[in-house]
Amino acid sequence: MAELTPSQTVGPFFSIGLSVRPEHELVPASAEGAVAISGRVLDGDREPVPDAVVEAWDRFGGRWGRCATDSDGGYRLVWAPARPGPDAEAPHLALLVFARGLLKPVLTRMYLPGEERANAADPVLSALDPAERATLVAHPDGDGLRFDIRLQGDGQTTFFAL
C-alpha cells in the first residue's frame, strides 16, 4: 500500500477549528447597512455538504469572516456592503469553499441583487455569459439575502481559478 499524502488524509475535519469561535459576522448584525446572507452548500446531486467551511472576504471594506455549514449544508454570514468608487468593481464578496473531496478550496463571488448598473459594469461579472452570471447574484430572502453554492451539476455556481 502506498503512503498517503497530506491531501489524501485531510478528511472532513474543517469544522473542528470553528467549534470554539466562529467568525460568521464580517460586521456586527447591528451595524448600519448590515445584511444577513444565508444559503446552503450543495453537492452535484443537490445534497447538502454538512462539513464545509465558507470564508468570505470584502476587499473594499477590508473585512472577512468564516463559518461552518450545519447538518443541512446551511451557512450564515453578516455583511455590510462597502461601496467602491464609481469606476471600480460592483459590491461583492469573494467566497472560498473548503469541503470534503476538494484538494483545494474553490473560489467564487456573490454579487448583490438590485445593483443592475454596477453589476453590468463589473469587469468580472460582465465577462461571463448570462447563465454563469446568474449563479453569482444573491436573491432577496425575507430581511436578508440567499446565496446557495452548488459545487457541481446543473446550476453549478461559477468558480474562478486560484
pLDDT tens-place string over residues 96-131: 999 888 888 999 999 999 999 999 999 999 999 999
Grid cell for residue 161: 481559478
pLDDT given for residue 131 in this prediction: 95
What's the chain's average pLDDT?
86
Number of helices (H) and strands (E) in the chain: give both, helices first. 3, 9
Q: Which residues are CB-neighbours of 15 under 8 A, at least 6 positions away?
A: 51, 53, 68, 69
Indicate the CATH number of 6-150 among 3.40.190.10, 3.40.630.190, 2.60.130.10, 3.30.56.10: 2.60.130.10
Break the chain into its structural domains and give their ranges: 6-150
Q: Are strands 144-146 and 35-42 parallel, antiparallel or unpaired?
A: parallel
Q: 78: helix, coil or strand?
A: strand
Query: What CA–CA distances, in Å, run from 42 to 24, 142, 154?
Result: 19, 21, 11
pLDDT(75) > 60: yes
pLDDT given for residue 21 in this prediction: 47
- How confident is residue 16, by pLDDT bands cut at 50, 70 and 90? low
Write down the pTM of the prediction: 0.85
